[in-house]
Amino acid sequence: MAVSASSSAQQARQALADRLTELCRDAGLSGRDIAERCGWSPSKSSRTMNGRTPPSTEDIRAWCRACGADDQADDLIAMLRTAEGMWVGWRRMERSGLKQAQEARLPLYQRTRRFRSYSSWLVPGMIQTRPYTTAVLQAVQRRRGLVDDVAKAVAARMDRQRVLYEGDRTFAFLIEESAIRSGAGDAEVMSGQLGHLISIASLPNVSLGVVPMRPDRERWPVEGFWIYDTAQVNVELVSGYLTITQPGEVAMYADTFAELADLAVYGAGARALITAAMDSLG
């Protein structure tokens, strides 16, 4: 399991380590006893109990057998998978191709009612055109050397966009002006995408703000992120996909979104920036 800076991921790992330690103590065993019964080095059981080294599924089953608590194994393995899911490297997430990665997020989108999205480098996937999405995913597929299922992945993303028009969901999108000035595809693709943004902004359940480029900003650009209701934040980083569920961390991203929203322009102001970006394409 990759180590991330998120306290959500760290706390999930530590909670599993604490539960394994409790099983050990309830059985009247020490870490050294566990190591001996499992055929491990004492340092392995110590690192596991301290949360420094995450156990594997097999390690958890062996630990539970050593403690006489086989009935606890499935719950602990579920805890392990939850902790692992908070940080997923792109290689692991996309090992079967881009289509599966797109489809995996659909249940989260379907159960969310309030979406907040901030993007500093690309138009958010929820409001991308098909040509723009194709250009983005083709670039990702080539750069990461993935299976070429771009056409299927594009179709999956387009299908996911239906949540924009279903139910009582609301969407707030914040986009840095730099993301509408440079992006994916050629001038024709970008022009079509920018025109689509103007159309999307007219939807009654959508707020679209553009954060202007300026030298005296009070809040600098940050990594792109999505906030789903008040329950979860997802962050796309260079190395992987981070899921944040700790309320304190979710609140930090909500505060950051609010600060960036105060810097953005909307309505006629946003249309003016988008139109200027379209004119610059010639």
Instruction: Please report whether residue 2 resides in a domain.
Output: no
What proportion of the chain, given as a percentage, has pLDDT over 70? 96
pTM for the full model?
0.77
Indicate the Cα dihedral angle 150, 201, 226, 215, nearest 10°: 110
Same domain for 196 and 81? no
What pLDDT shows up at residue 85? 66
CATH number for the domain harbouring residue 263: 3.30.870.10
How many distinct structural domains can be found in the chain? Answer: 2
Same domain for 100 and 233? yes
The residue out of 31, 57, 85 marking a domain boundary is: 85
Please compute the mean of the pLDDT values over residues 97-106 and round it to a whole number: 86
Domain of 217 in residue numbering reads as 89-280
Same domain for 52 and 143? no
The residue out of 52, 85, 118 marking a domain boundary is: 85
Judged by average pLDDT, the poorest of 78-82, 95-99, 155-159 is: 78-82
Same domain for 133 and 205? yes
State the average pLDDT for the chain.
90
Same domain for 64 and 96? no
Cα distance between residue 188 and residue 171, in whole Å: 27
81: pLDDT strictly greater than 80? no
Same domain for 43 and 175? no
Same domain for 193 and 136? yes
